[in-house]
Structure 1
Amino acid sequence: MTTEAKTSRVSGFHKKTPRERLDFVADFAGLDGDTVAHLADMGNLDPHLADHLIENVIATMSIPVGIATNMRVDGADVLIPMATEESSVVAAVCNAARQCYDSGGFTTSMSDAAMIAQVQLVGVSDPHHARLRILERRDEIKAICDACDPVLVRLGGGFRDVEVRIVDAPGGAMVVTHLIVDTRDAMGANAVNSMAEALAPHAAAWTGGRVYLRILSNYADRRLARARATWTCDAIGGPEVRDGIVSAYHFAAADPYRAATHNKGIMNGISAVVLATGNDTRAVEAGAHAYAARDGRYSSLTRWEVTADGDLAGSIEVPMAVGLIGGATKLHPTARANLKILGATTADRLARIIAAVGLAQNFSALKALATTGIQKGHMALHARNIAMMAGAAGAEVDAVARILVERGTVRVDVAEAELKRLRG
């Protein structure tokens, strides 16, 4: 392909095989042979499956899967698969869990397994009357929704309730119907979306309005996972460390600039387990951050307190729309293997374990911030990445990383110089 002929308008690109697409991209971007060979190797994911999970596939991208140890959740010991590219995330969960293991580990609970589907009506002349007209048809709405997924109903799920809100918007009042649906062990997007689609023409006929959006909400505040744990003063280094963690939490609770980073750390752990189990990281993250702003101001997803005995008590409550059936959770072989390692046989159990991981992650981050600072531990682990970026291989990686940590300078240029010195 000549430079003049390059174009991103490619007719029938989706009809090509992954290798044909890759060859086209290689020509377009000027990829060398080694790069093409690397992209063509799809590792442990079958190319046929990859080509049907998403569109226009040319390659896969491997993310390391690590195991968090020491986790005790509701009296049972579990190993936690975590898929992430960020160093120190897995280690942080291991360390936090070890320090509260002897005091019982993590206790968890779940609010419900309900998802919300929204049906948006506009152009309604009498929105308050329309709201009541919809609510009066609850039984009819239930029949419409449950008919969309008889299997879900047979498994004990399905329609649970209907709510109608009047939302003041720049274009005028909207009448927004919420379908509350128990999705059991599914994340539930397809089920609730189908119900919203089915209800839409009926809602329009009942109110005289026009329907536009009919889709689930990722603000899954009817599907809250909760976890709590206690760390004794002796286990974490004394009252000064305890008070530093509480003070760090107070900072996040009061300041959205701090809360954003505080909650990002929590999501480091949560998203790693969500990804490892083939669930939707974007949906969980969107719901978590929306929940953090539920009181009109963005704040901490966790709470940290001092018990009557002087120990540290942490808790978390976060929307957790995850499932065991549907999508990558059933199709991706690594996701299936990770679920088996985790031993979660229900979506409820999976959600509660993930919440516990988020709390553990937050503990380690706050403890590091309140004591040595976040960089010491993080950069010690990151030093291995820097060593590899400098070209170290095999035993050289640990040797160079150790020198970087000892010098307190974790930089690529320093690593390159040390590697050159090691090689003589």
Structure 2
Amino acid sequence: MAMDLQMADSGRPNPDDYLFGRGPAWFALLMTLGLMMVDYIDRQVIVSLFPHLKQAWGLSDKQLGSLVSVVSITVAVGAMPIALWADRRSRVKSIFVMATVWSLACISCMFTRNYGQLLAARAVVGLGEAGYGSVGSALIASHFPARMRSTLMAVFFSVGSLGSVLGVMLGGIIASHWGWQAAFGVVGVPGLILSLFYIFVRDYRTVELTPRLDQATQSTGNVTRAIVAALTRSPTLLWVCLGGSAQVIVLSTVWAWLPSYLNRVQGLAPAQAAINAALVVLCGAIGAVLTGALVDRAGRWRQRYKLYALTLLCLVSMALLMPAFSGLGKALSHHQQLAWIAAGGLFMTCSTGPVVAIVIDVIHPGIRATGGAVLAFFLNLFGLAAGPFIAGMLSDAWSLPQAMAAMPAFSVLAALCFLVAARRYEADVQRIRAQVETEEAAAAADTASA
């Protein structure tokens, strides 16, 4: 029988109930999914424009990779302050502001005239998107029953994969008809529209913090010190952040460089290469949902089995992707190689939803979005930013095919981290649950005495 280790949410006596009912929960989910899709459309549209930018401005692969990585760097830097404000004030208002900023910044990319200007505009796109993943996931997790958490997180972040599919496809198609500048303008508008409707989403009540937690969240500096302490107290949080980042290096490399790989190695036109690459990303979106559900099912017997399942899935992704880009791939036809890469794409997104759910399990509900920001910091800085940049450097030093064949090895590091995290996962969840129950009992006693 599965161990019941889910912690209760403050303000909701039964964690398996909807917070405001099914209607508000599903509206919040749909709106948050819509903006998540737009988020990744605006983020990933540039990868299908690499051939155009290389031809127009003569950029190196390291420079091209930096146009992807800079978004993740500013997301990592800005995620913590934004999540801090959202946890203490309003999740809905923060999301409204974020969507407006990143959409306007994306539109501004079409007016850039050199590499420096485009790099700066892309940095602002990331600054606008900073915190959205952690704040949005916290909002969804609070609306829905705890038993649905891993699956919902997988759906939430798989929509990011779907947004990447659309971003890659739209970028290639629009650029082939109207030029690469027009692609930024077209994909930037939907975020502005959705942000206006998001103000109708119901926000959950800000959790009243204990004096210790309140002091810890007064400033970014205090939060940083509290995060270091949290990582020290919770080995699960630390190792899951590291393991998730290592697997995201593989994912971000394939997402960023597959259109260029197909263009250079297979000789496909940029628009056709973008469409083919988008199919692989779509497989990743489907795989995220399937593997998220598989991890949830594994956790029914013991919670630590979630991490064992993640370990196996990471190794499967490496076993498929590494041969696909190396000697085996060269011996295959284009369609055969693409099918092999797509099979790897089904598994390379395996950590997308479960790592968020696991972090939520081992963080205090009063700072849930901030805890998600810790994960977002690791995933963006050491995963999404690192992957395209490292692959670009290896491509300049070796070749793009050799770089693509080497990068899936990071899945081994991810698997090792998840194995280490499994040793303390259940104990860390029990510790947080006991802390929440103690605080609620103390609050009830104070109310009774008053």
TM-score normalized by the length of structure 1: 0.23
Structure with higher Rg: it is 1
More helix by share: 2
TM-score normalized by the length of structure 2: 0.22
More strand by share: 1
Structure number with higher relative contact order (C-alpha < 8 Å, ≥ 6 residues apart): 2
